[in-house]
C-alpha cells in the first residue's frame, strides 16, 4: 500500500521520442510507486507525435528539445536532475510499484553502492518473452562473486564469468548516483546504441553495484523500439566493443576481457547484417577481421556467402544459422 507523503531522493527521468502509443502506461507506473521519486520529468526529444501533450495532460513536467538522439536525451535528463539519485525509465516500459522503494532500501543499507539494478520481465504483443532475467541468466549469475544484502546482492567487482551482466544494465532497470554519471562523462553521444552498456560499465569500474532480486520492471519489445534496428545496432555494438578494448583503463577488467572474447562474433554478426542488405564488400571486410582472430565454421560459411552468387550465398547463410543453432559452433 502506498505510503502517504513518503518520497525518495530520486529524480525519475524519461527520455521520450514519438512514444504516444505507450507513454501513458510508462508514466502511470511512475505515479504508482509505493515510495515516490522526489521529482519526475520527461525530456521530449523532438517528437512529432502527441508524446509531449500526453505527458503534460497527466501533470508531468516536460522539457522539450530538438532531436538529439537517445544518448543526448539521456544526458539532458541527467543535467536537469536535481536529486542525488537518477532512475531512468524508457517511454515504452513500466516499473512495478515497489521499484524505487526496494532499490532505495538496498542503497540505504549499502552506501558504498553507486548503481542498483533489478530482476525484470520482457514482454511483447504476444505475451511474456522472459519471465525473469535472473532465471534466464542464472547459470553465470551464480558464478559471480557477490555478498548478500536485504532484498538482493552487492557485487564489489564484476567477474567475467557473469557474461550476461549487461542484460541487467539497461536504463529502465537502473537507479544510479548522479555524481558518478557526471564524473564518467555520462552517455557517449557519438554512439547511437549500446551507449547504456558503455556508460554503465564505466560507472561500475569505480564503484560496487547491486541487484535487487525482485522483478521490478516490465520491459516492452516492439517493432519500433531501438533494439529492433538490427543492421545499425550491430555496427554500433562493434564500435563499443572496440572502444572498450582500446581504452581498458576506463572499464572493469572483466568487461575488457569479455569484449576481447566477443570481438570475433561481433564482427561476424555485423557482417551477417551487412550481407542481409546486400553490402557484400563491407561484409567481407568484417569477416576477414573475424577470421584473423578466430577460425570458426560459422565465419567461414559467412565468408563464403559473401564471395559467391547471391542465391548460393543465401543458402550458405541458411547453413550458417543451422550450424549455429543445431551444434553451437
Residue 74 and residue 206 share a domain? yes
pLDDT band, residue 309 (cuts 50/70/90): low
Q: Which of 200, 187, 204 is nearest to 73 (CA)?
A: 187
Residue 324: band (very low, low, confident or very high) from pLDDT cuts 50, 70, 90: low
Residue 164 lies in a domain: yes
Give me the pLDDT at residue 72, please.
97
Residues 70 and 204 in one domain: yes
Q: What's the whole-model pTM score?
A: 0.86
- Say how far apart CA 156 and CA 48 lie, in whole Å: 43
pLDDT-derived band of residue 228, with 50, 70 and 90 as boundaries? Answer: very low
Per-residue confidence at 310, pLDDT binned at 50, 70, 90? low
pLDDT of 226 over the 80 cut = no
313, 306 contact by CB (below 8 A): yes
Q: Say whether both 271 and 135 belong to one domain.
A: no
Q: Are residues 204 and 101 in the same domain?
A: yes
Task: Based on the fold, state whether residues 266 and 221 are members of the same structural domain.
Answer: no
Q: Which of 210, 228, 246 is the last residue of a domain?
A: 228
**CATH code where residue 73 lies:** 3.90.550.10
Give the Cβ contact number of residue 98 at 10 Å: 19
What percentage of the chain carries pLDDT values higher than 70?
A: 86
Distance CA 41, CA 62 (A): 6
pLDDT tens-digit profile of 100-119? Answer: 999 999 999 999 999 999 99
Locate all alpha helices (DSSP H) within the chain, ordered by sequence.
23-31, 51-57, 69-80, 99-109, 133-136, 138-143, 178-183, 195-204, 230-246, 253-276, 280-293, 297-307, 310-327
CA 303 to chain CA centroid, Å, is: 30
Residue 313 has pLDDT above 60, yes or no: no
Same domain, 14 and 114: yes
Asked whether residue 107 falls in the same domain as residue 256, the answer is no
Average pLDDT, whole number, for the chain? 89
Range of the domain at 323: 230-327
Contact 87, 10 (CB under 8 A): yes
Query: Within a domain: residue 214?
Result: yes
The 10s digit of each residue's pLDDT in 41-50 is 999 999 999 9
Spatial CB neighbours of 59, under 8 Å, sequence gap ≥ 6:
none
b/e 248-284 (16+ beta carbons within 10 angstroms → b): eebbbebbbbbbeebbbbbbbbbbbbbbeeebbebbb
Question: Would residue 1 count as lying in a domain?
Answer: no
Q: Is residue 2 part of a domain?
A: no
**Could you tell me if residue 125 is inside a domain?**
yes
Give yes or no for residue 312 having a pLDDT over 70: no
Domain count, the chain: 2
* Burial tier of 11 (Cβ tally within 10 Å: 0-12, 13-18, 19+): buried
What are 4-32's pLDDT values in tens digits? 468 999 999 999 999 999 999 999 999 99
Once rounded to an integer, what is the mean pLDDT over residues 65-82?
A: 96
The stretch 58-70 carries a mean pLDDT of 96
The reported pLDDT for the residue numbered 308 is 62
**Taking residues 159-168, what's their average pLDDT?**
96
Same domain, 155 and 251: no
Compute φ and ψ for 170, nearest 5 degrees: -95, 145
Amino acid at each position: 500500500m502506498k505510503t502517504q507523503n513518503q518520497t525518495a531522493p530520486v529524480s525519475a527521468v524519461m527520455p521520450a521520442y514519438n512514444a504516444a502509443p505507450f507513454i501513458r502506461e510508462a508514466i502511470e507506473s511512475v505515479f504508482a510507486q509505493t515510495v515516490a521519486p522526489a521529482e519526475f520529468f520527461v525530456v521530449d526529444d523532438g517528437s512529432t507525435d502527441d508524446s509531449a501533450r500526453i505527458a503534460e495532460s497527466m501533470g508531468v513536467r516536460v522539457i522539450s528539445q530538438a532531436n538529439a538522439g537517445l544518448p543526448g536525451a539521456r544526458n539532458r535528463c541527467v543535467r536537469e536532475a536535481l536529486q542525488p539519485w537518477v532512475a531512468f525509465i524508457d517511454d515504452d516500459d513500466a516499473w512495478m510499484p515497489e521499484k524505487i522503494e526496494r532499490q532505495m532500501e538496498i542503497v540505504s543499507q549499502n552506501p558504498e553502492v553507486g548503481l542498483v539494478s533489478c530482476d525484470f520481465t520482457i514482454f511483447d504483443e504476444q505475451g511474456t518473452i522472459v519471465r525473469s532475467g535472473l532465471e534466464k541468466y542464472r547459470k553465470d549469475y551464480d558464478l559471480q562473486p557477490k555478498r548478500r544484502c536485504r532484498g538482493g546482492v552487492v557485487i564489489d567487482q564484476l567477474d567475467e564469468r557473469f557474461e550476461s551482466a549487461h542484460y541487467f544494465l539497461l536504463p529502465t532497470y537502473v537507479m544510479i548516483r548522479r555524481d558518478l554519471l557526471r564524473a564518467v562523462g555520462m552517455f557517449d553521444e557519438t554512439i547511437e546504441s549500446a551507449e547504456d552498456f558503455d556508460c554503465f560499465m564505466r560507472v561500475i569500474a569505480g564503484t560496487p553495484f547491486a541487484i535487487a532480486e525482485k522483478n521490478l520492471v516490465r520491459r516492452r519489445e516492439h517493432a519500433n523500439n531501438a533494439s529492433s534496428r538490427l543492421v545499425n545496432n550491430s555496427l554500433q555494438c562493434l564500435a563499443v566493443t572496440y572502444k572498450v578494448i582500446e581504452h581498458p583503463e576506463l572499464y572493469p577488467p572483466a568487461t575488457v576481457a569479455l569484449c576481447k572474447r566477443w570481438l570475433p562474433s561481433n564482427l561476424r554478426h555485423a557482417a551477417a547484417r551487412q550481407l542481409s542488405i546486400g553490402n557484400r564488400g563491407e561484409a567481407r571486410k568484417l569477416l576477414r577481421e573475424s577470421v584473423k582472430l578466430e577460425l570458426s565454421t560459422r565465419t567461414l560459411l559467412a565468408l563464403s556467402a559473401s564471395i559467391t552468387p547471391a542465391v548460393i550465398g543465401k543458402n550458405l547463410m541458411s547453413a550458417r544459422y543451422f550450424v549455429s543453432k543445431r551444434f553451437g559452433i
